[in-house]
């Protein structure tokens, strides 16, 4: 039996745009066991990215409106430095539009999370980034800038970056959303391989076919999560 690595309890999130409230999550709960590969489905605007940002500690739920537990510990009890450590050590993030830094080359982009205070440090980051980039077929691209890469190469660089600190959890937000089917399939193969090595993966998608690659699917609808 695996134990929960991440748990969302009754999460609420409302954005405030001037006088207008935009309620997005309205009591989202689910449990992810260590080693699971879970797909989160939902239509555009349903709150998939919002949920992933909360799980990754990039944003917080509304005050006193739900909780996220990592190995049973509430993120809301974390100090700022503990939260920084969670973001560096525990979760890796992959975005639909890569979010690579244009002025850095592939190697420098991939090393980046290793250089933050709770990262693995620059020497270890160099070794690990090179290893991952080689595995991902980018050995000949290490010195290239993101603008010189194809979409698939950019996303492989972004996955290497997300994995450089060897986090146990990978959060992927529409990782193939901007790629053709073949290239997207190759990215899903990388995620599947990472999952087979034991990593917990939460992948957001609006595409049912892509969601099939996960062990389990849940769906966001009207601000709550339902089994598919
Ligand atoms: N920072 C923000 N400020 C105000 N509203 C926001 C903000 N971020 C998201 N929203 C709104 O919250 C809702 C959910 O957004 P979110 O990005 O989580 O949806 P999504 O399911 O990821 O959509 P998509 O599939 O298009 O990426 C949308 O109506 C969006 O406009
Ligand atoms: Mg989104």
DSSP per-residue codes, 8-58:
EEEEEEEEEETTEEEEEEEEEEEEEETT-EEEEE--TTSSHHHHHHHHTTS
Question: What per-residue confidence (pLDDT) applies to 2?
Answer: 73
Which residue positions in the chain have pLDDT lower than 70? 1
Give, for ligand 1, the residue of 13, 17, 21, 24 to mutate: max count of ligand atoms closer than 8 Å to Cβ. Answer: 24
Question: What per-residue confidence (pLDDT) applies to 31?
Answer: 95
CA distances from 49 to 56, 179, 185 (A): 10, 18, 21
Residue nearest to atom 6 of ligand 1 (CA): 15
Which one of the ligands is nearest to 219 CA? 1
Residue nearest to atom 29 of ligand 1 (CA): 45
Terminal-residue alpha carbon distance, the chain: 22
Question: What per-residue confidence (pLDDT) applies to 169?
Answer: 98
CB distance 17 to ligand 1 below 6 Å: yes
Question: What per-residue confidence (pLDDT) applies to 109?
Answer: 98
CA of 122 to the centre of ligand 2 (A): 32
**What is the tens place of the pLDDT at every residue in 43-54?**
999 999 999 999
Question: What per-residue confidence (pLDDT) applies to 3?
Answer: 84
Domain boundaries, given as residue ranges, for the chain: 4-227
**What is the tens place of the pLDDT at every residue in 136-188?**
999 999 999 999 999 999 999 999 999 999 999 999 999 999 899 999 999 99
CA of 140 to the centre of ligand 2 (A): 32
Q: Are 155 and 94 in contact (CB under 8 A)?
A: yes
CB distance 47 to ligand 1 below 6 Å: yes
pTM of the model: 0.95
Question: What per-residue confidence (pLDDT) applies to 228?
Answer: 77
CATH number for the segment(s) 4-227: 3.40.50.300
- What tokens appear for 116 in the block? 């933050």
């Amino acid at each position: 039996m695996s134990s929960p690595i991440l748990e969302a309890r009754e999460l609420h999130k409302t954005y405030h745009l001037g006088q207008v409230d935009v309620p997005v999550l309205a009591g989202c709960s689910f449990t992810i066991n260590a080693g699971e590969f879970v797909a989160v489905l939902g239509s555009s605007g349903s709150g998939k990215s919002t949920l992933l940002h909360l799980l990754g500690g990039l944003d917080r739920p509304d005050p006193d409106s739900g909780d996220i537990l990592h190995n049973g510990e509430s993120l809301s009890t974390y100090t700022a430095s503990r939260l920084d450590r969670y973001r560096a050590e525990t979760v890796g993030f992959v975005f639909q539009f890569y979010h690579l830094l244009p002025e850095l080359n592939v190697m420098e982009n991939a090393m980046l999370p290793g250089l933050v205070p709770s990262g693995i440090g620059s020497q270890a980051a160099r070794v690990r980034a090179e290893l991952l980039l080689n595995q991902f077929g980018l050995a000949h691209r290490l010195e290239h800038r993101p603008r010189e890469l194809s979409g698939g190469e950019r996303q492989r660089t972004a996955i290497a970056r997300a994995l450089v600190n060897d986090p146990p959890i990978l959060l992927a937000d529409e990782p193939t959303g901007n790629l053709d089917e073949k290239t997207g399939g190759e990215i899903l193969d990388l995620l599947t391989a990472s999952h087979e090595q034991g990593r917990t993966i939460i992948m957001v998608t609006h595409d049912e076919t892509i969601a099939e690659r996960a062990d389990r699917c849940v769906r966001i609808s009207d601000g709550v999560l339902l089994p598919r």
